[in-house]
Amino acid sequence: MKHPTKNSEFAYQAVYRYLVELIAQMAPGSYNKLPSLRDLSRRLSVSISTVQYAYSLLEHDGRVQSVPKSGYFARGAEPAVSVFAGEDLLHHLQHHAGHPQLGVLSSDEPSLEANLLAIERQLLRQYPRAAGQFNPCGDLELRTALAARYTRSVHQYWSADDVYLAGDLRVLFETMLPALQLQGSTLLVTSPCSWYLLRIFQAVGLRVIEMPLGIDGALDLDHFARLLVCEPVRMVMLPSRLHSPLGNLLPSSQHEAIAGLLARHDVWLLENDLDGEYCFAARPQASLREVIDPQRLLVFSSLERTVGAEAPYAYLLARQDQHALQRHFLARGFRLPPRRQQAVARLYAKGRVDLYLEQARLCLRERVAHLYRQLQIQLGAHLHFQMPAGGAAIWAQVREPLDTRALFNRLLRHGLVIEPGEAFSVKGDYQQHVRLGWPAGGPGDLHSALNVLDEELRRAIKAGA
């Protein structure tokens, strides 16, 4: 093959860099065909010989493979696992927890995405042009379905005007807080708290105060009362039923006392209903909102928790300050896909959400019970934990003094991700805790993952002895 002249040297280097970037953007581990010589020549406005020389260099480097009569192919790079270096554990955890090539030893359940997309295709066939009138607070059909779902009686009811939808939880809070004049305010949360929510609260500028829960899920009511007196608390976030990550229930015997304290100090209840549907009990206990003054109540959740990532929309239920909320949602100009919202509404109307949740709870209970038994067998000597009342994971405490952040980094080298306890606290508490769940594969993957965890725990404990 004829080598390029000096005049074309810059051209082949530019083609080489372009192809390197193209390969870097490929999904890790995937095998992809690269553009043909002629296509790339036309796309980059260079000669075919220049492109061919760039490909020959890449082939010599082992980055591409030439297949006779088919063209050039490349494989996406395997994931580079970076060891933690810095203080932002939340960012590090979020990065690796979403990595497609790592085994996440704390996974959530599948969802209704297939049903959702099927209904959306059906709507597209029935209504190929008009998809409904735009509403800045969300599609009326979906808001009506959500309001009906939260209505319990003539005294505990919601209407479509009380429901507000946003693209995700962060933008929901960014819109809701200024509407209710709560931006920059102090939020009291139960602890440990979801690291995902902590990250959002940090991003929207809330000051977070943590209030540890007891092992039984109960609040220390005296400590709660003192915080409301001593701190400028404007909102208190409490679970509707199930507290995550502990996996226990807020005792219904405390509901009235909590409601009384909130009313006495004129504090908003920010009820977290993200995990409320995943209690294992056949008849879940009443939610906290049923005894709260609706004028000081905000309920939030996300459709992603049930429908899946194809419906990441967050929603808020609020009766107070409707005009202010509507004005701020209108100013943000959310334009959520109308057909996607209507498809979600049909899932509720057809009872498919309830059917899915019933099956998901049974599956979760079976999986978590199996995880609990395997943890007892393989890691009972190292970890203290109890069977949760719901959810998809187990909160465990390491019996021996141990740096779980260092354990997190060591497991990354094995392609495993755990959730260190300190990620669930703005103060970095719970350094002796981890949250463990079922990995993406089957029982074999679980057994292998726990073997690796057991080996690393033994090594870390021995090194610290």
Count of CB atoms situated within 10 Å of the CB of 432: 19
Does the pLDDT value for residue 107 go beyond 80? Answer: no
Nearest CA among 225, 282, 217, 224 for reference residue 250: 217
Phi then psi dihedrals of residue 456, to 5 deg: -70, -35
159, two tokens:
């209407």
- pLDDT at 114 (0 to 100): 63
Mean pLDDT, range 372-401, rounded to an integer: 93
Report the b/e string of 441-455 with b at 16+ CB within 10 A.
Answer: eeeeebeebbebbbe
Q: What are residue 274's DSSP bridge partners?
A: none
Asked if 72 and 53 touch (Cβ cutoff 8 Å), the reply is no
Report the b/e string of 170-187 with b at 16+ CB within 10 A.
Answer: bbbbbbbbebbebeebbb
Mean pLDDT is lowest, of 19-28, 35-44, 136-145, for 19-28
Nearest CA among 303, 314, 273, 266 for reference residue 290: 273
Does the pLDDT value for residue 179 go beyond 90? Answer: yes
What distance in Å separates the CA atoms of residue 424 and residue 393, rounded to the nearest whole number? 14
Distance from the Cα of residue 256 to its chain's centroid: 31
* Burial environment of residue 15 by CB neighbours within 10 A (0 to 12, 13 to 18, 19 or more): buried
- pLDDT at 464 (0 to 100): 64
Asked if 416 and 453 touch (Cβ cutoff 8 Å), the reply is yes
- pLDDT at 208 (0 to 100): 97
32, two tokens:
């992809």
Higher pLDDT, 25 or 300: 300
Q: Tens digits of per-residue pLDDT, 223-270? A: 999 999 999 999 999 999 999 899 999 888 999 999 999 999 999 999
Does the pLDDT value for residue 89 go beyond 70? Answer: no
- pLDDT at 84 (0 to 100): 47
Alpha helices, DSSP H only, in 103-220? Answer: 113-126, 140-150, 169-179, 195-203
Does the pLDDT value for residue 290 go beyond 60? Answer: yes
- pLDDT at 112 (0 to 100): 63
- Percent of the chain with pLDDT strictly greater than 90: 44
Cα angle value 163/234/143 (rounded, 5°): 5
- pLDDT at 28 (0 to 100): 66
Nearest CA among 329, 350, 340 for reference residue 303: 340
pLDDT band of 186, cuts 50, 70, 90 = very high
167, two tokens:
């693209």
> Kind of pairing, strands 103-104 and 71-75?
unpaired
- pLDDT at 303 (0 to 100): 92
| Average per-residue pLDDT for the chain | 84
Nearest CA among 157, 138, 139 for reference residue 149: 157
pLDDT band of 357, cuts 50, 70, 90 = confident
User: Which helix (H) or strand (E) is 96 found in, with range?
Assistant: helix 89-97
Alpha helices, DSSP H only, in 306-440? Answer: 322-332, 338-349, 352-379, 404-412
- pLDDT at 98 (0 to 100): 52
Helix (H, G, I), strand (E, B) or coil at 213: coil
Nearest CA among 418, 188, 388 for reference residue 275: 388
118, two tokens:
């099927």
Q: What is the DSSP letter of 79?
A: P
Does the pLDDT value for residue 53 go beyond 50? Answer: yes
pLDDT band of 6, cuts 50, 70, 90 = very low
- pLDDT at 7 (0 to 100): 46
DSSP conformation letters of 342-379: HHHHHHHHTTHHHHHHHHHHHHHHHHHHHHHHHHHHHH
Mean pLDDT, range 8-31, rounded to an integer: 78
- pLDDT at 237 (0 to 100): 97
Mean pLDDT, range 406-429, rounded to an integer: 87
Does the pLDDT value for residue 457 go beyond 50? Answer: yes
Q: Tens digits of per-residue pLDDT, 124-173? A: 666 555 555 668 899 999 999 999 999 887 677 899 999 999 999 999 99
pLDDT band of 78, cuts 50, 70, 90 = low
Higher pLDDT, 335 or 381: 381
Higher pLDDT, 51 or 30: 51
Mean pLDDT, range 46-54, rounded to an integer: 90
Asked if 163 and 366 touch (Cβ cutoff 8 Å), the reply is no
Which range has highest mean pLDDT (8-12, 55-59, 203-207, 338-342)? Answer: 203-207
User: Which helix (H) or strand (E) is 264 found in, with range?
Assistant: helix 255-264
What distance in Å separates the CA atoms of residue 89 and residue 205, rounded to the nearest whole number? 19
pLDDT band of 108, cuts 50, 70, 90 = low
Q: How far is CA 129 from CA 123, 125, 126, 338, 339, in A?
A: 10, 9, 9, 12, 11
